[in-house]
Structure formats: structure tokens, C-alpha cells
Amino acid sequence: MERMSSSLQSWVEEHKLSTIGAVWATAVGASVAYSRRRAPARATSLRLIHARMHAQALTLAVLGGAALAHHYYGKSSSAGKRQEDLDYGFYSQLPPATDADGNENERWSW
């Protein structure tokens, strides 16, 4: 179980926006389904408004939980790693914006 938990945690860390979007979409679908079963006479537009509100509340709760988890668990491990992870070598491979005479490089012009 520990191994699955850590692999799930690493996947979520890699795909943060997809995870938040999936939580939001699942919450909207579940809220609409629940509302449809509980009050079938309710208008569809009202169901969607309530579903969006429920999904937004759940998404904010998930974001708050993720922020707390990052604050408590990620603080010690990511502090020294951030500077090392930045790859500034990429910028040295780009062509210069101007040549030696000051003329604009055609790769950078519109």
C-alpha cells in the first residue's frame, strides 16, 4: 500500500492541473447525478449552477489541502533542490537576438 501511495503521490505531483480538473469534473458529474435523483423536477440550469458551486467548493478544499501538504511535506526536500533543477544551459543554446553590428537576428524578428 505504501508503494502505491507514493506512486500515486508522484503522479499527482507531475500532473497537478489534470488532477484538479479531474476532481472538478467528477464533482460536477456527481452533483448533477445526485440532484437529478433527489429532485427530478428541478430545472437543468439550476442543477448546473448548484453543481458548479459544489465543484468549486470541493476544488478549493483540494487546493487548500494540497497547499498544506506542500507546506508541511515539501518544505524540507524542495528547498535545496529548486536551484539545482533550473536548467539555464537551455538559454545559452539560443541564437543571439542581434549580431555583432547590432542588426536584429532574423530568427527573432516577426
Establish if 82 belongs to a structural domain: yes
Each residue's pLDDT tens digit, 58-72: 999 988 988 887 788
Establish if 105 belongs to a structural domain: no
Establish if 53 belongs to a structural domain: yes
**Same domain, residue pair 29 and 53:** no
| Domain limits for position 19 | 1-39
**Same domain, residue pair 32 and 61:** no
Q: What is the DSSP string of the chain?
A: -HHHHHHHHHHHHHTHHHHHHHHHHHHHHHHHHHHHHH-TTS-HHHHHHHHHHHHHHHHHHHHHHHHHHHHHHSHHHHTTHHHHH--THHHHTSPPSB-TTSPBPTTT--
Domain count along the chain: 2
Extract the residue ranges of the chain whose pLDDT is less than 70: 1-4, 74-88, 105, 107-110
Establish if 101 belongs to a structural domain: no
